[in-house]
Amino acid sequence: MTKCVFCGKDEADFKGVYLIKNDGSINYYCSSKCRKGHLGLKRDRRKVRWTEAFHVSREKRRAKEKEAAEKAGKERAEKAKKLS
Ligand SMILES: [Zn+2]
């Protein structure tokens, strides 16, 4: 199984392209879409909606927001208690 560096898709058959850098790191791209997005257009994979990294970061962000909202709600309730 090879994992695409950009979109994070696991592939059993190798249809894509390997990029082997001089420092020895190996990047695998499943499609030209991913290769061009990463190397040519220099897109941030966390900002491209169809990648795995985007969904992971979005879930993290949502969890954080939820936590913050719960905290704010608790603080508000405590304040209301103190006042009454
Ligand atoms: Zn890909």
How far is the centre of ligand 1, averaged over its atoms, from the C-alpha of 33 (Å)?
7
Q: Is 47 helix (H, G, I), strand (E, B) or coil?
A: coil
Range of the domain at 73: 45-84
CB contact at 8 A, 28 and 71: no
* 31 lies in the same domain as 54: no
How far is the centre of ligand 1, averaged over its atoms, from the C-alpha of 25 (Å)?
17
* 35 lies in the same domain as 55: no
How far is the centre of ligand 1, averaged over its atoms, from the C-alpha of 35 (Å)?
7
* 55 lies in the same domain as 36: no
- Quote the pLDDT of residue 76: 86
Q: What's the CA gap between 36 and 17, in Å, rounded?
A: 11
* 38 lies in the same domain as 52: no
How far is the centre of ligand 1, averaged over its atoms, from the C-alpha of 83 (Å)?
56
Q: What's the CA gap between 23 and 10, in Å, rounded?
A: 24
* 55 lies in the same domain as 20: no
Domain count, the chain: 2
- Quote the pLDDT of residue 84: 72
Stretches in the chain below the pLDDT threshold 50: none
How far is the centre of ligand 1, averaged over its atoms, from the C-alpha of 61 (Å)?
23
CATH number, domain with residue 16: 2.30.170.20
